[in-house]
Amino acid sequence: SDLQKQEERGELLQPLIFVLLVLCSVLLYFKVSLMDPGFVKPEEEMKEGENKGQGVVIPQIPGDIRLRRCGYCLVKQPMRAKHCQLCQHCVRRYDHHCPWLENCVGERNHPLFIVFLSVQLVVLLWGGHVAWSGLYFEQSWEWLQHNIFLLVSFLLIFIFTIVVLLLLVSQLYLISCNTTTWEFMSSHRISYLRHSELENPFDQGIILNLWRFFC
């Protein structure tokens, strides 16, 4: 049959890979949006010994910085945690609240969020290539009527690709510096950054920052 001949020529391999990538992207979306991003639980409040231990790991942070109790959910916030008013929880290593996910990006789901963006970018680039290869331009109304859907699809894919690419690049840059979106945007309002002698006391070099984040 024609299907068997296409399979023998390898013409079904690329569509199959594309479908698998789309499926992987959808599964990653639900995984990142539904999982716990690192909510701080009341029973997980850090003890004084753990607080001192954290000062050993990051000696550049002044010793007079004390963990504060959240005014909303009343838990003692670990360093780099922030209360999200949309999720009504404090999130460990809070990066940002993503409206597309309806969830925070924090300590637990941040690496998966980067994987999701990477897979999504591959899908968009592939889809954009397919849409562009199907276009042939003619200056006629009849051509526009027959190709309007493909043209609009390509423009939408192009816009989404730019957005995802910029987000992924900015996220990888912040990760390589061992900082978060919240810390980058609000460093003047965060006590452990405002009183630190260094601009970023968590930065331990690009390689070590990436290793600790992903591994």
Query: Rounded to an integer, what distance in angstroms lies between the CA atom of residue 105 and that of residue 177?
Result: 17
- How far lies 134's CA from each of 11, 12, 26, 48, 203, in Å? 17, 18, 25, 64, 47
Query: Rounded to an integer, what distance in angstroms lies between the CA atom of residue 178 and that of residue 204?
Result: 8
The amino acid sitting at 25 is: S
- How far lies 119's CA from each of 28, 38, 135, in Å? 9, 23, 25
The answer to whether 215 is a known catalytic residue is no
Pick the catalytic residue from 98, 104, 177, 215: 98
Taking a C-beta distance cutoff of 8 angstroms, is the pair 62, 196 a contact? yes
Half-sphere exposure of 52 toward its Cβ, with a 13 Å CA cutoff?
3
Catalytic residues: 98
